[in-house]
Structure 1
Amino acid sequence: MGIHECALKSRAFNALKEVYDHRSEALLKERSEGKKVLGELGCDVPDELVIAAGMLPVRIYADSDRDMTEADKYLEYAFEPVVRAQFEKLVDGTYSEQIDYLAISNSTDIDIRIFLYLRELKRVEPEKPIVPITFIDWLFTRNRLHQERNEFIIGLFRKQLEEWAGHEITDVDILKAADICNKNRAALRRISALRHGNEVRITGSEALVIIGAGLFMDREKHTELVNELSDEARGWPVIDAPRVYYTGANQEDLRLYEMIESKGLVIVGEDTDFGERYFNRDFNLDYPVIRGIVDRYMLREFSAKKATPKERMEALEREVEAAGAQAVVFYTNIYDEVATWDIPKQIESLERRGIKHIRFEKMLWPAAKNEGLEERLGEFAEEMRGGRS
C-alpha cells in the first residue's frame, strides 16, 4: 500500500514529496535566496514568532546513513539513536550550512541535555561549527502561575529573535504569522479528515509526506499545496484495509509506515510531533499575542514526555475514537523509556473497549535493523483481517 498511484499522479503531492525527499536542498535554496533559517529541536518552539521575525522555521532531523564520529566522542550511548544522529549533524558542520540559528525547547529531558552539551561545546571548543543557540524553558503544568511564567519566557524568546533578525517584531507581525499558521493547521485538518472514519482515502505514508513537507518549506506555499491536494483526494478511491493508529517514537521518514502499510494495514492517525499532534490546537487571534502563543503550546494535546500516564491514556482514547481506528501500534526505540510508562494503562483501556494492539519496544533505528519486525507485522495484519491473507 504505502503511497498510491493516485497520489503519485498529483501535482500537489509530488511538489510536497520533492521537498520531503530533498530537505537539505530545500534549506540550502532558501538560504541562497537570502532567507534566514531557524532550526528547531524539540516540538515546542513557537513557529508563529519565528515566521513573524521573517525567518523560516525548520525541524532538525536525523540521517541514519552517516558516521557518528562526533556523537560517539561527546554523547553517552544511552542517548536515543535518533537524537545521537541529530546531534551529529549539529556538531559536524552539516547544519551550519543549512540553518542560521537553533532554538531548542525543553520538550523532553533529552532535548534539555542536548542543549547543555551544545552550549558547553561552544564554550570549550569555539572552533566547532555550531550555530548560535537559544533555549526555551517552558513549564507545562496547566495553572495560572506557570502560564504567567511562560509568557515571560516567550517574551525573552521574542527579544532573542529580534536581535537575530535585526528588527523589532511587532504584535501585528505576530498576528499575521499566527493567521498563516492557523490556516496551515486548518488545511492539514482537511487531510486528517480524509484519513479518519470508515471512508479512508489517504494512507499514513502519504500523510507523513504531506505533514512533513511543511516542516521544511514556506508555510503559505505549503498551505496552498495541501488545500489543492485535499480537493483532489476527496475523489480518490476508498482504502479497504484494517485501520490502525500509531503511537510512540517520532517517524522522521517513511520507512516504518511503509513497512506497516505494505502488510495491508492503513495508518489513520498518530500522536507524534511529525504527525497529527503537529497541528493540534490553534492560536487564539483574540488574545494578546504572547498569551495566544502560550495558550496554543501549553494547552494542546499531551505528548508522552509532558503528561501523566492517566492523561496519556485519556488522550489516546480520544484520538483512537476520533480516527475510527480498529487497532493500535505501539512502537518505541531503544533508550526511549519515558513513553513506555504510559503503555500499560493505555493497553488496559484498549482491552476494556475491545480494541486490538501490538507492542514493539526497545527497537533499533532505523526500523529495517530489527529482525522479525516484518514477520510480526504480517501476522498482526492477518489477525486484523480475520485470518484472510
Structure 2
Amino acid sequence: QSGRETCSSYQTTNLCSHIIFDSFFRDSGKVTTVVATPGQGPDRPQEVSYTDIKVIGNGSFGVVYQARLIDSQEMVAIKKVLQDKRFKNRELQIMRKLDHCNIVRLRYFFYSSGEKKDEVYLNLVLDFVPETVYRVARHFNKAKSIIPIIYVKVYMYQLFRSLAYIHSQGVCHRDIKPQNLLVDPETAILKLCDFGSAKQLVRGEPNVSYICSRYYRAPELIFGATDYTANIDIWSAGCVLAELLLGQPIFPGDSGVDQLVEIIKVLGTPTREQIREMNPNYTEFKFPQIKAHPWTKVFKPRTPPEAIALCSRLLEYTPATRLSPLEACSHAFFDELRQPNARLPSGRELPMLFNFSTTGTDTQTDSCTHRDKQTWCFGSVSAPQAGVCLGKNATGNTEASEEALINAAHTVLLLCSSPSKDC
C-alpha cells in the first residue's frame, strides 16, 4: 500500500468529493496520497501525495501540520478543522476566491474522517511560510534591540496591500494581528493568513461584535457594534504598526474592560459624536473626561514622525475617518520604499510592492519575487503633524480617577455584551 489511505465518497456537501481516514497524520515518515480539490479553478479532484508530516501549531480552531509535497518537493501547511456537515465552511469559501501575492494561497482542500463516528475534518493545504511578524518582533525584543524601520515599512506596506485586495472583494479579515502575518525572513515577503474569522460583510446584515483578538480589537467592537465595516481591520493594522514601533502592544488590556481603558488613556474620552459613529445605539452613557495623550509622548523619542503620523490616522475612534488601505499605502511613511535604490539590510532587493493596475486597484498576482521595474507608484498623501492628538474635543477633568474610568468601561461591557447570533 506504500502508505496510501483508502478513500470514500462524501455526499453531504458540494465542496469536495472524498474523505480519507485520519490515521495518516500519526506517521510522519510515510507517503500519504489523498484525493484533493484545487483551491482555485474548476472542481477537478486529483491525487496529491506528501510526506514529512509534523505538527507546527494548534488552537481552538484545530491543528496545523507541515508537510512536503512529493511532486514538487515544496513545503506546505495543512490546516485541519472540524467540519459541521450542516454548513459550508466560510473560510474555505473565502479562500477559494482570493488570489493575491500577499495572501497565503489555498493550494488544495480535502476531507478526512475523525476518530468518532460521523466526525469529518476539512483540511486546507496552504503555502508554507516559515516565520511570523510576531516571532520576528520577539526576536529583536529578546536581543534588546528594535526592529529595523525598513522592515516595519516593508511589512506594513504589504499588509495594507493585502487589506486593499480583500476589502475590494467585500471581505473583512476580523483577526489582524502579528501572529497572522507570515513572513519569509530572506525575501521579506509578507502573506496574510488565517481567514477563520473572516466574513463577507453585507450592509444591513448583523455581525458579531465579539470578534478579533483583544489587543487589536477596534473600539466599535468593544462598544457592541454589529453593523461595523472593514475599517475594524484598519484599526487592527494600526495596532500592529504601533507595536512594531514600541516593541510591545500599544493597548495591552488584560480584559475587555481594561482594553477600553487602555484605548482611552491614549486617545482620550470619545466624544458623544464619536460614540454615535461607533455604535448609534449607544450614546447616552457618561464617561469621565480624559484628555488625549500626545502621540509624540506615546512613542520613543527617535520614532520617525511619519510613522507617528500614520498611526494617528489609523487609530481613530470614528471608523470612517481612518485611512483606507490604499491611502495608507500612499502615506509619506512609505516614501523610502519608492526610492529606486531601496534595499533590505541584507542588500537584497525589496519584494515586489508596486504592481498595481493603472486604475489604482491591486492586481491579482501570485508573483512577489522581484520588484516591478515599470511600476505605477502612489504619491504621498498629506498627513497631520506628529503629535496631533486624537480625541482633542475630549476636554474636562484631566485628573479623573482611573477607578471611575474602569467603572465606566465595566458598564459599557455590560450594556454591549448581549449575546448575538454568530454571523
TM-score of the superposition, structure 2-length normalised?
0.22
Which has more helix, going by share of residues?
A: 1
TM-score (norm 1): 0.24
Name whichever structure is richer in strand by fraction.
2
- Quick check: which has more Rg, 1 or 2? 2
